[in-house]
Each structure stands twice: as structure tokens, then as C-alpha cells.
Structure 1
Amino acid sequence: MQGLADSFWRAAAYCLHPRVIALSLLPLLISGAGVFAFMYFYWEAAVATVRATLESWLLVESLLRWLDSFGLQSLRIALAAIVVLAAVLPVVVLLSLLLVALCMTPAIVRLVAERRFPTLEKKRGGTLLHSVAASLGATLVALALLILSIPLWLIPPLVMVLPPLIWGWLTYRVFSFDVLAEHASAEERRELLQAHRLPLLTMGIVCGYLGAAPSLIWAFGAMAVVFAPVLVLVAIWLYTLVFAFSTAWFAHYALAALQALRAQRAERELRPAEPVAVPVSEVLLVEDGSSGSAR
């Protein structure tokens, strides 16, 4: 717990570093450009398609007519837009996570290593190709779990538990590999992930709940739909900062664990070997054999 708390506060301080803030702008620009391209070319068509689909369902249409009787006709368009936003946001989160893993994680790990672990040897046990493959594989699994768990979100307690747990597992899988790729060998990485699986998973779950916090900006109802372009940019930047904090947290914890592992190994190698006790019977046999050969 001491290692978790120490690395947590160090990571929070690193989020205020000018280099980290500057690095957070690159994923924001890429994700923002992609989201705005979608909204410019496909937003109206997507909202119209979702609205037609909802109105074709008798139960939803009855609910909308009941709302119309109270003068809430604008909710027809707002509901369709909210559904489209709810479908787009998970993609935005995953895109932000992948961009942070590819663009920010190496730079943040280098920053942490330069400032706190300057003497830590780089064994480069993971390549960029391995990192991309591991990240994409974990992302596909997380997407499948999210899609399969959507019916369970209708149960109020589970909607507050399942998505953060899935995001937490994904964060744990992606960042545990990436922060050790440059400094640890493949064998050291496997040993560390095995020995520290529970703390790393705990960190991932905490980061998963932190990653759910930016979604609260969509709690303004219809006003969130009106200001959707601006709120999307704010959400992307908040997601990027959360993932940058997660990277720094995992980097501080994992590199400290790697340094401790190597120190333990060096201590075992420098420790003098203990003398092996040889039974007296074996000594007598050797002496008798030597005497016999001499005779």
C-alpha cells in the first residue's frame, strides 16, 4: 500500500509538469479532428437514423407521445442525439487510450526514468509492434465485454460497477506492458506482472473509475446536446489527462518494482556461497580410497 500511495502522489504531481500538459494536446488534436469529422459528415444522418429507429418501436413511441402531451416535443431530437453520443463516447475513450499509449506513454516513462531512475538499465524486452499488438488485443476484448454487458447496465448498481471494471482491466493490461517495455527484459516483465498482479489491477480499477468522471459533463441533459462539440473536446482532454496520470502512476510503481527486483538479484549474487556440509562417512570413504590407491 505504501508503494501505491507514493506512486499515486508522484503521478499527480507529474500531471502538472509542462511537458506532460504539452503532450496531452497531441491526442486531443487527433481525437478532436476525428470526432469533428464524424459530426460534420455523419451527425445528422446518424441522429435521423436513430430517431426513425426509436419511433418504429411501439414502446418508445408511446413514451415519446406521452412526453409530447407535456410539451416536451424537443426530447424526440434530444433523445436520438443522446443515443448517438452514448454510442460515440466509448469509441472516443478507446481512441484516447490508444493515442495516449502510443504517443504519451513512451515520453512519460522517459520523463519518470530520467528524473527518478537515471541509473536503471534499459533491456528493451518489448518492441513497439508488441505494444501495439497487446494494446489492440486487450482493446478488442474490452469492447466485446462492454457490448455483452450492455443489458446489465439497466440494473442501477451494475452500471456503476461493470464499465469502470472493464476500463480498469484494459488500463491494467495496456499500461503494465507499455511502462516496462523499454527498461525490463521479457523475463523480468513476466516476473513483475506475476508478483504485482493484484496492486497493478487495483491501480487499473481506480483509473477506470477516474476515467468515468469526465462522463459527468454529459449530465446537463438537453444542454449537453446543444454544446456537444465543445463538451466533446473537454471530455477528450479530460480523458487524456486521466490516462496520462494513469501512465505516470504505472510508470512510478512498475519502475520502482523493477529497481527493487534487480537490487534483490544483485544482493543474492554478491552474497557468499554457504559451505556445503559433507557427511563424515563420505570423507572417510574418500580417505580410504586415497589410501588404497597409494598402497
Structure 2
Amino acid sequence: MIQIFNAFSLAFRNLFNLKILWILVWPLLVASLFWLIVGVFIWTPSIEWITELIPFTFMENWFDESVLLKITDSIGGILNVIILVILVIVTAMIITALFVMSSLIDFVAKRYYPLLERKNGGSLVGSLIHIISAIIVFIVLLGIALPFWFVGVGILVSFLAAAYLNQRLFSYDALSEHASKEELEILLTTNKLSLWGLGLLTGLVQFIPILNLFAPTLTALAFIHFELARLDNYRRKSSFDSSRE
């Protein structure tokens, strides 16, 4: 637990570096522009689709048809905005994972782990497998959660989906440049509870207004700090065990 909060606090402090600020901004700008353009074409159809998913029949005895239509349109519009924000944040996270992870890894490694050897055990194929599988599972979970947001269960499922996305999206790439293939396999299959813990903590940030704008870069930095610390500790322990034999 201490390692999780240590990684998160270091990542938060790194956000105020000028180089990191630019890395934080441009994925958000690209993601926002993309979804604003898409939103122009799908805004009205998506409101109609959302209102069809939510059972409003229990309100029919309280309001006439015109008032009920306004209520459903308003709720559909609010949900549209929420979904749009989620899509922007998730798209920015994907852009971060695909295009800026290497820069963030260099930033953290040079300042905190300058002696940590790079063994380049990861691969582009491995990274894409993790990213694609993370996106697919996240979309499925979010689709399941959407109709249940008004009863609380949907928000919980959405939170768990964000946690899964975070740890699946960034844990592999955070290690890929420094760990060997063997180290990657060991570290990604052990201490899963801590990976989920960091995923939940960073996932919480995605649901807090204003702070969620920092979520993509903050999450990437937190996993880089966490995984490089784990790798460094693993190598120190392995070296110590070897010296005792």
C-alpha cells in the first residue's frame, strides 16, 4: 500500500514539470477535438438511444407527455456530456499509452533510476495486445454499466472498468523498456492486488471533475514509478539471493 501511494504522490509532483505539462495537454486537445467533431453528428441520435435504455415508465403517472419528454431529453443530454467526458479521457489515455509513454519513462528513469539497466524485454506486439484487450474489456463493461447508472451499480461497474483499463493499459509499457522478457512475465503475474489497487486509485481520479483532466498523464506516471520501483527491488533481491549462494 505504501508503494502505491508513493508512486501516486511522485506522479502528482511530476505533473508540475514544464515538459510533463506539455505531454499532459496535447493528448487531451487531440482527444477533445476528435470527440467534439464526432459529437456534432451523433449527439441527437445518442440522446434518443440513451433515453430508450432508461426505464421512465414509472414517471408516467406523475407528469404529462410533454413534461416527461423534456425530462427525458434533459437526462439524456446530461448523460451524453458524461459519456463524452469519459470518451475524451479514455482516448487521451490511449494516446498517452501509444505515443508518449517512452518520453515519460525516460523522464522518470533518468531522475529516479539512472542506474537501472534497460533490457528491452517488451515488444510493440505485446504492447498492442495489452492496449487492444484493455479497450475491448473496458467498452464491454461500460456498455453493461450504462443502463444501471441511476441505481448506483452502474457507477461501481464503471469504476472497476476504469481500474482494469488503467492497470492493463500501462503496466506492460511501464516495464517494457527496462525489464527482460523473464522479468516482465514474473512482475506482471505477481502482486496483482497492488496493480489493481493502483488502478483503482488512478481510476478514482477519472471520476473527479477537473482532476480527471490530469488523469491520463498522472496514471501513466504513477504506473511507471510503481513498476520501475518493483523492478529495481526485484533485481536487488535477486542479486542479494545470488550472492548468498
Q: TM-score, normalised by structure 2?
A: 0.85
Contact 1:172–1:201 at 8 Å: present in 2 too? Answer: yes
Equivalent positions of 1:45-124 (< 5 A) are: 46-47=43-44, 50-51=47-48, 54=51, 59=57, 62=60, 66=64, 68=66, 75=71, 77-124=73-120
Contact 2:104–2:221 at 8 Å: present in 1 too? Answer: yes
Equivalent positions of 1:147-162 (< 5 A) are: 147-156=143-152, 158-162=153-157
Contact 2:28–2:88 at 8 Å: present in 1 too? Answer: no
Specify the alignment match of 2:182 in structure 1.
187
Q: TM-score, normalised by structure 1?
A: 0.72
Specify the alignment match of 1:139 in structure 2.
135
The higher radius of gyration belongs to: 1
In 1: Cα distance, 2:102 partner to 2:18 partner: 16
Q: Which runs of 5+ in 2 are unaligned?
A: none
Give secondary structure in 2 for the equivalent of 1:122. coil
Question: Cα–Cα, structure 1 residues 53 and 144, in superposed 2: closer, same or farther, change >3 Å?
Answer: closer
Question: Cα–Cα, structure 1 residues 60 and 34, in superposed 2: closer, same or farther, change >3 Å?
Answer: farther
Q: Which amino acid aligns with 1:170?
A: L
In 2: Cα distance, 1:68 partner to 1:136 partner: 44
Match status 1:12 vs 2:9: no
In 2: Cα distance, 1:20 partner to 1:260 partner: 26
Percent of aligned pairs with the same residue?
Answer: 23
Aligned length: 243
Question: Cα–Cα, structure 1 residues 240 and 49, in superposed 2: closer, same or farther, change >3 Å?
Answer: closer
In 2: Cα distance, 1:96 partner to 1:175 partner: 13
Contact 1:27–1:240 at 8 Å: present in 2 too? Answer: no
Residue 116 (structure 1) shift? 0.6
Contact 2:50–2:76 at 8 Å: present in 1 too? Answer: no
Question: Cα–Cα, structure 1 residues 76 and 153, in superposed 2: closer, same or farther, change >3 Å?
Answer: closer
Contact 1:145–1:166 at 8 Å: present in 2 too? Answer: yes
Cα RMSD after superposing both structures: 2.9
In 2: Cα distance, 1:117 partner to 1:58 partner: 56
Question: Cα–Cα, structure 1 residues 11 and 104, in superposed 2: closer, same or farther, change >3 Å?
Answer: same
Question: Cα–Cα, structure 1 residues 20 and 169, in superposed 2: closer, same or farther, change >3 Å?
Answer: same
Specify the alignment match of 2:193 in structure 1.
198
In 1: Cα distance, 2:45 partner to 2:169 partner: 36
Contact 1:168–1:201 at 8 Å: present in 2 too? Answer: yes
Equivalent positions of 1:39-50 (< 5 A) are: 39-40=39-40, 42-43=41-42, 46-47=43-44, 50=47
Residue 257 of structure 1: which of 207, 213, 230 is its match? Answer: 230
Residue 209 of structure 1: which of 204, 213, 216 is its match? Answer: 204
In 2: Cα distance, 1:121 partner to 1:261 partner: 13
Question: Cα–Cα, structure 1 residues 52 and 270, in superposed 2: closer, same or farther, change >3 Å?
Answer: closer
Question: Cα–Cα, structure 1 residues 52 and 193, in superposed 2: closer, same or farther, change >3 Å?
Answer: closer
Contact 1:48–1:80 at 8 Å: present in 2 too? Answer: no
Specify the alignment match of 2:242 in structure 1.
269
Question: 1:62-82 CA deviation, whole Å, 9 max, x = no partner?
Answer: 48953856xx98656534433
Contact 2:89–2:216 at 8 Å: present in 1 too? Answer: no
Contact 2:167–2:198 at 8 Å: present in 1 too? Answer: yes
Specify the alignment match of 1:217 in structure 2.
none
Residue 209 (structure 1) shift? 1.3
